[in-house]
């Protein structure tokens, strides 16, 4: 498993950039996996998960703008985002080769997505504890809560299939 190293002195903006990049890395992973899926149901779930990540990114961008109004466009914001990793600190390209053969059913995909969301939640909570900036702690704990909500949504979807 990959790891993201934070020192504890990051600014709120640093944390939002990081989280945005992780969400984009995960979106790219789901979109690429959807194209490789052979079962229509699996491809559909992966495509839906990719779209959910787009909404997560928008929420982070909105949060960033509430902190730093100098960034006025999503394009200028994204120019400075690193999306080489995804939630859980994993490399999306490497994981694509390792995991997509296991995506035989929609429940396989959802189990995998739930694992990633749990790892994301854990990551944000651990780094919230390490941070010395109260605003960063607040943002990280809010992001952990978002991941918890994502887990619940995935669990609800899992129950439906």
Domain boundaries along the sequence of the chain: 12-160
Give the residue-averaged pLDDT of 4-33: 83
Report DSSP letters for 33-47, one per residue. HHHH-SSHHHHHHHH
Statement: residue 22 has pLDDT above 80: yes
Quote the tokens at residue 119.
């790892």
Per-residue pLDDT at 135? 84
pLDDT value for 61: 92
Q: What is the pTM of this model?
A: 0.80
Name the band, by pLDDT with cuts 50, 70 and 90, for residue 4.
Answer: low
Per-residue pLDDT tens digits for 32-67: 888 888 888 888 888 988 998 898 899 889 989 988
Distance of alpha carbon 104 from its chain centroid, rounded?
22
The answer to whether 103 touches 42, Cβ cutoff 8 Å, is: yes
Phi-psi sector, 72: left (phi>0), alpha (psi -120 to 50), beta: alpha
Closest by alpha carbon to 78, among 62, 66, 61? 61
The two three-digit tokens of residue 121, written as one number: 């939640």
Q: What is the pLDDT of residues 107-138, one digit of tens each?
A: 888 888 888 889 888 888 887 888 878 888 88
Fold of 12-160: Ferritin (1.20.1260)
């Amino acid at each position: 498993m990959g790891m993201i190293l934070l020192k504890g002195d990051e600014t709120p903006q640093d944390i939002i950039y990081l989280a945005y990049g992780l969400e984009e890395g995960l979106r790219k992973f789901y979109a690429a996996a959807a194209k490789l899926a052979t079962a229509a149901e699996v491809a559909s779930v992966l495509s839906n998960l990719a779209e959910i990540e787009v909404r997560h990114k928008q929420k982070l961008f909105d949060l960033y703008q509430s902190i730093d109004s100098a960034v006025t466009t999503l394009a200028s914001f994204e120019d400075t985002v690193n999306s080489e990793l995804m939630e859980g600190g994993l490399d999306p390209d490497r994981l694509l080769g390792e995991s997509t053969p296991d995506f035989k059913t929609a429940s396989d995909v959802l189990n995998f997505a739930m694992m990633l969301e749990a790892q994301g939640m854990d990551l944000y909570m651990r780094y919230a504890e390490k941070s010395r900036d109260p605003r960063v702690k607040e943002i990280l704990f809010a992001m952990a809560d978002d991941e918890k909500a994502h887990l619940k949504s995935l669990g609800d979807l899992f129950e439906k299939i």
